[in-house]
Amino acid sequence: MRKVKIGLALGSGAAKGWAHIGVINALERAGIEIDVVAGCSVGALVGSAYVNNRLPLMEKWVSAFRYWDVIRLMDVSWQRGGLLRGERVFSHVRQLIPNDTIEHCHKPFGVVATNLSTGRELWLTEGDLHQAVRASCSMPGLLPPVGYNGYWLVDGAVVNPVPISLTRALGADIVIAVDLQHDAHLMQQDLFSVTPQNSEEEAAAAALSWGGKLRQRLVNFSQRRASQSPGAMEIMSTSIQVLENRLKRNRMAGDPPDVLIQPVCPQISTLDFHRAEEAIEAGKAAVEKKMDELLPLGERMEKPLLGKKILIVEDEAVFRSLLDQFLLSMGAVTLQAEDGLEAIAQLQQHTVDLIICDLEMPRMSGIQFVEHIRTRGSIVPILIISATENMSDIAHVLRLGVQDVLLKPLKNFERFREAVYECLYPSMFTSKVEEDEQLFQDWDALVRDPKAAAKLLKQLQPPVQQTIANCRVNYRQLTMAEQPGLVLDIAALSDKDLAFYCLDVTRAGDNGVLAALLLRALFNGLLQEQLTGQKQRLPELNGLLRQVNLLLRQANLSGQFPLLVGYYHRGLKNLILVSAGLNATLHVHAHQIQLSNGVPLGTMGSTHLNQISQRAENWQCHVWGAGGRIRLMLSTEE
């Protein structure tokens, strides 16, 4: 089993960024081995030197900076895009770090940049190292955007000032983040903090060239008195810092690092790159303050599941023992059960952090067990390990809120280990950005391959007979062809109520199947939102269908989408049916109630629905449309 990987997330901060050098040096002296590195802006610059074993050379270079050295590196530009060209600085960096590609770095490395075309962050983990670093450092207004693989990129701090999410994506199990902007002044009157005392030689040299005059004008611009109103560069610099701070706080709230290091160097201004020694010392001091948090990382690396209690629900004794030994070796406390009934008994006596469960077991199956605890409000993470190839079963448990499904035989215990980590430490492995990117990729793949989408939809059809929410439910379906017609979905919301819908996918071309997949993924969440705060748990289904109609429009799915939605509460014995484009007949005892079809979703901006509400203990509902017929039957279990 490999050791836990420690990642370092180096944040933005302009001249304060030299503090990263002090942080890295102090971590190495403390014996903390860094396995992966991610950087943003100046963090990308320092990180690139570190992962290429050039940090000592960079430290020597920047520690020798004096005020006029920084000014000489400023190649003023009259072109659009930035005040400075940046050629002088990055030509020095290229000499300092001869490696040209990210793949050839000595440690996994990535940088964050902002895509001007989409406004979203772009993770650069391969390709031209120097272009990637330069893009991540291109502070809007100061340095021009960088062309990279067909995109225009600017400073990554615009979207992700401290790249914790990228560090995790590169394989880090534990993240040490370095935040340089926590003590930033809300208004810096100077881009440079102090006026230099020029030597006669420096003044004379500066006066000899037209470029020197330009640089002098830049210095004069930055040295206006505090009583004067701030200039454009001050406003821009401060505004960016305010935005970065707010964005950083929001992102860290959802994805906090394991250790947060915050060097204190408030007097170092945006372009004070000549104050490297102060910043480096501030980085070292910040690490010393966090040593109590940093030293226990060694123990966590050896026993990453220390203090976690895990319930293994598995009827096969050999496999159960194998899982048990693997988890014990990582420091976990384990409990065991042979089936769902034993697992319920264990949960009555113990509070666990994770449940690992099979699906096919005697007495009470894994599906029944998951339904039992989920409908009673349990939010304990669940990891399924099963030999099933039934996509409907997998979709069922995923809908019930299990975190992941692994298939037997479990040949790769590395994948199992990662799945356990993802369940126990979700913020370490997921971020909103990553989830959104994956959703976009999955959706685009389905849009490009309608046959694959139709095949997936067919595999996700519910079983024709099942017990759900203590009700016996079965259905019969007649379609006009082999292609999808009327699509049915049923889901338990608790042990007392369930919901279902029928969607005709034949009236919108390929968009019908895509709409069905989208609805299947989001239906439960939409309905739960409708139920929130309703004491009698009777949802307002008209509002639900309006949400679905808006969702289809936002997904750019055109066409007509005839839909019927039903909700049944076993305790209240109340059935609600709402139709937007499908005909239905409800049979209750000897009575028949007709529900006219209304207007399909997608036809207009608003919805035009028909609804009935009926008390019933046992009932049948016939639904029909252009895509075929479905007969759905329900009886309660007393």
Lookup result for tokens 């590169």: 170
Give me 57's structure tokens.
């050379």
Cβ proximity of 21 and 149 under 8 Å: no
DSSP string covering 174-216? EEEEE---TT--S--S-SSSS-----HHHHHHHHTSHHHHHHH
CA distance 216 to 220: 6
Helix-helix angle 200-207:210-222, to 10 degrees: 120
Bridge partner list, 563: 503, 580
Q: Is 490 helix (H, G, I), strand (E, B) or coil?
A: strand
Cβ proximity of 586 and 595 under 8 Å: yes
For residue 193, how many other CB atoms are within 10 A of its CB?
A: 17
CA distance 10 to 374: 40
For residue 365, how many other CB atoms are within 10 A of its CB?
A: 18
> 100 catalytic, yes or no?
no
Cβ proximity of 324 and 330 under 8 Å: no
Scored b (16 or more CB within 10 A) or e, 318-329 reads ebbeebbebbee
> 75 catalytic, yes or no?
no
Alpha-carbon distances of 278 from 39, 96, 98, 403, rounded to whole Å: 21, 22, 27, 47
CA distance 47 to 97: 11
Look at strands 497-504 and 465-468 and give their pairing: unpaired
CA distance 431 to 424: 15
CA distance 386 to 368: 14
The active-site residue, picked from 12, 35, 41, 386, is 41
CA distance 98 to 188: 36
Q: What are phi and psi of 236, to 5 degrees?
A: -60, -50
Give me 565's structure tokens.
């939605």
Alpha-carbon distances of 376 from 194, 273, 383, 496, 498, rounded to whole Å: 64, 59, 18, 10, 14
For residue 442, how many other CB atoms are within 10 A of its CB?
A: 12
Alpha-carbon distances of 583 from 54, 281, 371, rounded to whole Å: 72, 75, 31
CA distance 162 to 249: 10
The active-site residue, picked from 12, 136, 155, 431, is 155
Please list the active-site residues: 41, 155
